[in-house]
Structure 1
Amino acid sequence: MTLLKRKSIEAVASRRPARGIRTRGERPGQDEKRMTPRFAPVTFSEMDGVRYLHFGTEWVQGAMRLRKPDAIELEYAQQMMAWLLFLSPSAPDFHVAQLGLGAAALTKFSHRHFARARVTAVELNPAVIIAGRSMFGLREDDARLSVREQDAWDYVMDATSTESVDALQVDLYDATARGPVLDTTAFYRACRRTLKSPGVMTINLFGDHDSFPKNIERICDAFDNRVLVFPEVHDGNVIALAFNGPPIDVSWETLEARADVVEQATGLPARDWVNKLRAANARQEAKLVI
């Protein structure tokens, strides 16, 4: 059977009603009546030394190269780490949070490479957590790692999450890749409230799906238009970065120097991130001002 890699996404397995009211005047605390989660089956495949996670379909929800279990295999997932261009995970009490565990690539990578950071992963489907630990090398919780069986909406709405996260990584899709399962302005505002100052949210979107323009508009609304996007990768994944805190006014040469540090420390293609961000975002040619 040929494995389809289209729409490579790590995701929550359930489809739930969107939270909040989709108007500019919405109150972030509002919540619609909930349905009992319905989870698709968690399934696996392997090809050319890579193990893939699926939710009962051909859509890839995450991947791990068997010989490099703590590496990030997929390009879009690597770009989810682009907050490293702006934040140092060696800062005291640094906190990385991941909404949607998938194959645990981002969680494992952060736990391994950022020795002083706390790492939290939030996943609604208990079978995905079990799969992460039994099939994808996710470690048991320790003093720095916490994997929580929880709805991402509840996590960002919890008062204890306010201003607690430095880097928030959001990858929330259902089994059929119909767009993010949480996509209201209320949700994105709640994501912003979890961030410290400075703080960065990275989020996986679909550039060729009708969910993309409305999500970008809502993220821009929630983050006062302080949003950058990468060019589309794979078959439609677009990673966006949204910023909280002081304005950023930095030369691309300074970001390239920072990218060199990130590459040496992590092996991630950070210089490529700088080139792509510079090319993809209008009115940022001379320097990055956001």
Structure 2
Amino acid sequence: MQRLLLHQQSRYSEISVYETDELYGERGLFRVLQFASEAVQGAMDMNRPERIILEYPRAMLHLLQHQVPLLDRVFIIGQGAGTLASHLSGRGVIVAEIDPLVAEISRTYFGYTGDSVRIGDGRSLLEEEKLGSLDGIIIDAFSEQGTPAHLTSLGFFRLAAERLDPEGLLLLNVFGRGADDAWMAAIATTLREVLNEVRVFSLPPELPHEPRNMMIAGSRKPIQYQAHGLAGFAEVEPRPGYIIHDIPS
């Protein structure tokens, strides 16, 4: 059974918050953030709020903390329910969120308490950071069309790489169709133009060629991880793709 808590159209998306007694086949009480695409953007176990329900934030945190043990400053583009930022509290976390309504929902409905949320375009806000000052950059931004194109281009990856510490890690949460997805291949190929170590990970699909969560990681040094920490993600190898360039304005 679902109970709708909020349904509102912002400048950027149609947004819903609801509670349900079943999520992904599990019984309980869950609060869910959802955009118009019907993709779950965030979820909270109301009986265990500290628990991370979705696989991709668990896997991202493992990659980040395993790769950069002395993690200090992390820049996150896309707030959602605030799960990643909440679990990185105690470190220097900066969250860039383009939609003021999402930032408000994260606090009001999902208990986010961080004080470093900046409202605006993530790429523009990242450009304001000092060169080499970030241990991690996470792109977890979605529109109704998917990951915004200006956050997957060669120009953006050059900007991000310049802001990363030499030991730092760049992570993208994206939706794709596995190793044969041409868009995933293009993102990975574009990222390899600026960071020599790139790994791509995918959740297994329920049906062949079905869209599913994928992660792309980039660094200047070999990317290390433990398979059990990836929450069901497995490494895949996309074919070579094309370079994504910024569209002239």
Matched, 1:137 2:108: no
Distance 2:75 2:215 in 1: 16
Percentage identity across paired residues of the two chains: 25
- 1:150 aligned partner: 120
1:178 Cα shift?
3.2
Shift of 1:97: 1.6
Q: What is aligned with 2:18?
A: 45
Preserved CA contact (<8 Å) 1:231 1:280 = yes
Q: Name the residue aligned to 2:218.
A: 242
Residue aligning to 2:146: 178
Partner of 2:183: 211
Judge conservation of contact 2:55–2:232 (CA < 8 Å) in 1: no
Query: What residue identity is the alignment partner of 1:231?
Result: S
Q: Does 1:232 align with 2:203?
A: yes
Partner residue, 1:267: none
Residues 1:108 and 2:86 are matched in the alignment: yes
Give the root-mean-square deviation of aligned CA atoms: 2.9
Contact (CA 8 Å) 1:183, 1:215: kept in 2 or not? yes
Q: Letter of the 2:68 partner, please give it.
A: L
Q: Which residue of 1 aligns with 2:208?
A: none
2:75/2:136 contact within 8 Å kept: yes
Q: Which amino acid aligns with 2:18?
A: S
Partner SS for 1:80: helix
Greater fraction of residues in helix = 1
Assess if the C-alpha contact under 8 Å between 1:83 and 1:241 holds in 2.
Answer: no
Alpha-carbon distance change, 276 to 126 in structure 1, aligned in 2, over 3 angstroms: closer
**2:242 counterpart residue number:** none
Once residues 188 and 149 of structure 1 are traced to their aligned partners in structure 2, the CA distance between those partners, rounded to angstroms, is 21
Deviations 1:80-100 (A, max 9, x none): 2112111114x5xx1122110
1:118 matched residue in structure 2: 92
Count of residues in correspondence between the two structures: 216
The Cα offsets for residues 42-64 of structure 1, whole Å up to 9 and x where unpaired, read as: 21122221111122442211111
CA distance in 1, matches of 2:155, 2:223: 28
> What's the counterpart of residue 228 of structure 2?
271
Contact 2:82 2:112 in 1 (8 A): yes
CA distance in structure 2 between the partners assigned to 1:52 and 1:275 by the alignment: 21
Runs of 4+ with >6 A deviation: none
Greater strand content: 2
CA 1:272–1:191: 2 relative to 1, 3 Å:
same
| Deviations 1:202-257, CA, capped at 9 Å, x for gaps | 11122316532221111122213x1012233564111111113xx3397xxxx55x
2:68 equivalent in structure 1: 87
Q: Judging changes above 3 Å, is the alpha-carbon distance between structure 1 residues 70 and 233 closer, same or farther for their aligned structure 2 residues?
A: farther
Q: Superposed, which structure 2 residues align to 1:185-224 within 5 Å?
A: 185-208=154-177, 210-224=182-196
TM-score (norm 1): 0.66
Tell me: higher relative CO, structure 1 or 2? Use CA pairs within 8 A at least 6 residues apart: 1
Report the alpha carbon displacement of residue 191 of structure 1 after superposing the two structures with TM: 1.3
- Secondary structure of the residue that 2:86 maps to in structure 1? helix
- Structure 2: how far apart are the matches of 1:180 and 1:56? 15
- Structure 1 stretches lacking a partner, 5+ long: 4-12, 15-37, 257-269, 283-290
